Structure 1
Amino acid sequence: MWLLLAASAAVCFGLRGILYQWTSRQPADRNVLLFGVYACGAVVALALNLFWGQPWTAGAAVGIAMGLFSFVSNSAMHKGFAVGKASLVALLVGLPPLIVVLAAMVLWKEHLSVGQTLCFVVILGGGLLVKSAGGLSLRNMEGAQWGLLAMVTFAFTDLSSKQAALSGGETLPTLVLMYVTGSLLFAVSAGVDRKRQLAAEARGGAEAALARQETAAAAEGVQPPRWSLGKTVGIGMAVGISNISGMILMMPAMKMGITGLVSAIVALNALIIMLYAWIILRERVKPMELAGMILAFAGVLALRLLG
């Protein structure tokens, strides 16, 4: 059951990554958009809990830490997609299990069987094969720093999710606190950015304003108009459905399964994003990259057979 939940979460997070890549190239305020993503999560989780009535326990407070880590990871991933190669950022975002499996061994004494270890190595080996085939170099490292930051903080989010389950935190109350925390952080970030923008405009004075008007006039018909606040929040909330769906599926999987294996399965969402990058964005695919994807999926199939 945990494998099905983790695989379904991977699909949801893959869709989230695709939508992040698309919105990152649109004329929208990133923090406002992500506020909409997290506001959607808070509303959906709260509404579902009013229906199911999961109890509020002390373990749910771990959701606050999850909100902090996911705030950083989602910001970094969205920024990476805006400035870098989609397949590169997706690959880095897919490597948190390397951190998670080691941390789980230290924190909770979780150990994999020989077969599970082989499957874990095969799954991550497939991802690393895609990575090596991508040919990381100084010429195509744009966005890599954001992908690395997202990788580390996504790992901390996974570990926090497991800790919430171990502490007795129910899924929906934990997610309410996570998304409320993230919403507040994105709202504050958007406010700070707006304040800085207004201060810069005030310092620039009339000459800067005139220059901006001339630039805008020259670019009229070329640059699309910036999304309004309402449109940005609305589209963010639509994107947020994929995010909250993935979290609702992942948290029970973390509770039932071995942390490192669940994280490895969920991290396969990176392969969905890379398929999108290759097919839709027309990023070039190499034979080794395709082989890596096949190897990763073979590892998932082997894990299912062992289960």
Structure 2
Amino acid sequence: MWFIFAAASAVCFGLRGILYQWTSQRPINRNLLLLGVYLCGTIVALAVNGFVGQAWSTGAWIGVGMGVFSFMSNASMYRGFAVGKASLVAMFTGLPPVVVVILAYLLWGEKLNIWQSLSFLVIISGILLIRYSSDISWRNLKGAGWGALAMLGFGITDLSSKQATRLGAETLPTLVLMYVTGTLLFGLAWYIGERKQAAARRLVAASADNAAIHGAADSPGFVAPETIPVPWNFMRTLLWGMVVGLTNISGMMLVMPAFKLGVTGLVSVVIAMNVVFVLFYARFVLKERFSRMEACGLTCAFIGVLILRLAG
């Protein structure tokens, strides 16, 4: 039964990744979008628990930590899609099982069998191939750094979900606290960003006024500012974020039952298969091409994930 929950969660997160990639290419405020994602999760989790009536417990406070690491991972994944190749970022976000299995062993003594150990060697080899592909360097990570940060955040979020179930916490109360925390963090990030942009706009306006006063716009050396796309307004961005948030909360509502019933590392691996959806999207919709070494690295890492799945 755990596999069904985990596989369904992977479908939801795959759709989320595609929507993140599509949205990242639009003139939209990232923090406001993700505020909508987490606000949707808060509303849905509260509403569903209003009908189900799951009990609140001390273990549910793990949701606060889940919110912090989910904030970090979602922000990193979105940023990675904005500046890097979708396929590369997607592959990193498919590797949280590396983090999960290692830390689950250190924290709870969940041991690795020979096939799981082999899968880690294959995955690490894939990451190294990606790292040393021809068009990626420390100066030009093209989203790889953000993808790695997202991988770490998603991995710790998975471990936190497992810890909540180990403490007997119910799914919905834990998710309420997670999404409230994420909403507050993204709301704060959006507010700070708006203050900085307002200050920048005042500076630009003052410069324009000064140029007009001194007739700079009529001078031969004057260069008009580039035309930029009109950004989405507040309500459109927030509502679209809530639409994307439906995929996120749906996936999370399936994650915790999966962790409750299954082995931590194996559940995380099945959930990580959401990368397949984003890779297909990148290849067949975005028409991305892979360099030979990059393709080998992606294939190697993906085979490692499959071995880890089959090892269970």
Q: What is the TM-score normalised by the length of structure 2?
A: 0.85
Where in structure 2 are the equivalents of 1:133-212 lying within 5 Å? 135=133, 137-138=136-137, 141-208=141-208
8 Å CA contact 1:95–1:124 kept in 2: the answer is no
Distance 2:200 2:298 in 1: 47
CA gap of 1:141–1:38, structure 2 versus 1, over 3 A, is same
8 Å CA contact 1:124–1:264 kept in 2: the answer is no
Task: Give the corresponding residue for 2:252.
Answer: 247
8 Å CA contact 1:99–1:155 kept in 2: the answer is yes
Q: Which structure 2 residue ranges, 5 or more long, are not aligned?
A: 212-216
Q: Percent identity?
A: 49
Q: Which has the larger radius of gyration?
A: 2
Task: Give the corresponding residue for 2:22.
Answer: 22
8 Å CA contact 2:266–2:308 kept in 1: the answer is no
Task: Give the corresponding residue for 2:75.
Answer: 75
Distance 2:100 2:54 in 1: 27
Q: What SS is found at the alignment partner of 2:56?
A: coil
Q: How many residues align?
A: 298
Q: What is the TM-score normalised by the length of structure 1?
A: 0.86
Q: What SS is found at the alignment partner of 1:282?
A: coil
Report how far residue 154 of structure 1 moved. Answer: 1.1
Provide, for residues 22-50 of structure 1, a one-character-per-residue CA deviation record: whole Å limited to 9, x for no partner: 11111110000000000111111111111
Task: Give the corresponding residue for 1:132.
Answer: 129
Does 2:99 align with 1:102?
no
CA gap of 1:24–1:128, structure 2 versus 1, over 3 A, is farther
Task: Give the corresponding residue for 2:303.
Answer: 295
Provide, for residues 63-108 of structure 1, a one-character-per-residue CA deviation record: whole Å limited to 9, x for no partner: 0000011001100110011011111111111222111111111111
Report how far residue 155 of structure 1 moved. Answer: 1.1
Task: Give the corresponding residue for 1:6.
Answer: 6
Match of 2:282 among 277, 284, 289: 277
Task: Give the corresponding residue for 2:214.
Answer: none
Q: Which structure 1 residue ranges, 5 or more long, are not aligned?
A: none
Report how far residue 185 of structure 1 moved. Answer: 0.7
State the AA in 2 paired with 1:302.
L
Distance 1:81 1:74 in 2: 11
Report how far residue 129 of structure 1 moved. Answer: 4.0
State the AA in 2 paired with 1:18.
I
Distance 1:50 1:137 in 2: 49
Instruction: Pick which of 32-41 and 279-288 moved more.
Output: 279-288
8 Å CA contact 2:55–2:173 kept in 1: the answer is yes
